[in-house]
Structure 1
């Protein structure tokens, strides 16, 4: 593990209670409390080809309607992405990505200025444009290992940073937790070397990204081991293909399975949940939070 930054914003000891309050530093000097209650991140895909909701939010007007509904249902953050990350999706370049993203981002920020917005991108140029337009978080599905300049940008702007694990385009270790530690430790090193503060960082184990169903199930079963990395954890299981492997359902029918993983992973200490169906997952999270709170009252 890389050294922690101590006075530069350390979130605490590496084995800290994941349900204890800690502040996540976002852009524009804002902070978000993580730990005592799970928070929902509403997915807003500005793509024609995402596996679940491709084409639903291409216009700013449609995106604002979707975003407003998700916030009303309980989303604390909106995550906007303009390039599909599903397996086999056609790649686009940064110019295309920004052409899709920016009109929607600007419209959502104007309609919901109080709601933090995350931009789902692995390109520093796109991330910069989004932060300048009011986004407060960068969600990098390559964990800074595709474009390390994102780390410099986040250090410069003080934005929140989500570092995701992926198994794409590399050899992976047989043990899923060891592979998480190896990849994410390298990403953390890149971030800290660029001047990113610990308090800006959230980690995402990347459910479904170059992982087979057994790997995803093992990652859920051993999820609590990831707290040794010392950072808050976000999870994105929503409608993923591995849920269909276990339930036999297509993407649009996987919301119940998603909610089940939300409850299970909240009990294991996850702080943030990236979801498509906010209302259903809000109910699952409410029950999980009640159980967690009762356990703490009883001294568990």
Structure 2
């Protein structure tokens, strides 16, 4: 019922291949996998669904533990390299992959803040640039950092989106669409003006 009534592309948020295939049969436009094609019980199956239906897939970073022995970005890059390898072996074209740093998943508050500060390090793998999707809207790391309840996190969400854009993120997943989109659009305009040659 949603797909024909919605004027914009619809994504299905699932790590189950069967669910993704059902949604694809009913016309969804994007797959969104919170386990980055690495769900242990269905290795590689989500990538096969993406190939079968020719859909782009959001590959989100996730892990069961929030503790990292080494550098958090190094760990995330290794995760994404594995996801990209799974996708390539299944036949997913690299231009169908969208990377999501998974803010709020498998990270401490401090870890989320560090990842936000270093987002630009997740843009390129093996010489290829991938779109970054940023989902920070109303997340608990904002609440824990500023001691704010969920319904008072719009402005700091906007700040994270603006920062994300300056670090190379192209897609924002938000709840408060109108105000955040205005923040993003003015940020885009400023960055575009700065890139013009005089």
In the superposition, the TM-score normalised over structure 2's length comes to 0.92
Q: Is the 8 A contact 1:163 1:201 kept in 2?
A: yes
Matching residue within 115, 120, 134 for 2:8: 115
Q: CA deviation at 1:170?
A: 8.5
Matching residue within 165, 174, 177 for 1:278: 177
Q: Is the 8 A contact 2:66 2:106 kept in 1?
A: no
Q: Is the 8 A contact 1:263 1:287 kept in 2?
A: no
Matched, 1:234 2:133: yes
Q: Is the 8 A contact 2:67 2:108 kept in 1?
A: no
1:104 counterpart residue number: none
Give the secondary structure class of the aligned counterpart of 2:124: helix
Gaps of 5+ in 2: none
2:117 counterpart residue number: 221
Counterparts of 1:154-233 in structure 2 under 5 Å?
Answer: 154-168=50-64, 172-229=68-125, 230-233=129-132
1:292 counterpart residue number: 191
Q: CA deviation at 1:261?
A: 0.5
Q: CA deviation at 1:180?
A: 1.0
Gaps of 5+ in 1: 1-106
Q: Is the 8 A contact 1:275 1:281 kept in 2?
A: yes
Q: Is the 8 A contact 2:10 2:28 kept in 1?
A: yes
Q: Is the 8 A contact 1:137 1:162 kept in 2?
A: yes
Q: Is the 8 A contact 2:143 2:150 kept in 1?
A: yes
Matching residue within 120, 123, 144 for 1:245: 144
Counterparts of 1:1-300 in structure 2 under 5 Å?
Answer: 107-112=1-6, 114-146=7-39, 147=42, 148-168=44-64, 172-229=68-125, 230-298=129-197
In the superposition, the TM-score normalised over structure 1's length comes to 0.62
More relative contact order, 1 or 2 (CA 8 Å, 6+ apart): 1
Taking a change above 3 Å as real, the CA distance of residues 211 and 170 of structure 1, as seen in their structure-2 partners, is closer
Q: CA deviation at 1:183?
A: 0.6
**Counterpart Cα distance in 2 of 1:284 and 1:268:** 15
Between Structure 1 and Structure 2, the one with more helix by share is: 2
Q: How many residues align?
A: 192
Q: CA deviation at 1:278?
A: 0.4
Query: CA RMSD for the aligned pairs?
Result: 1.5
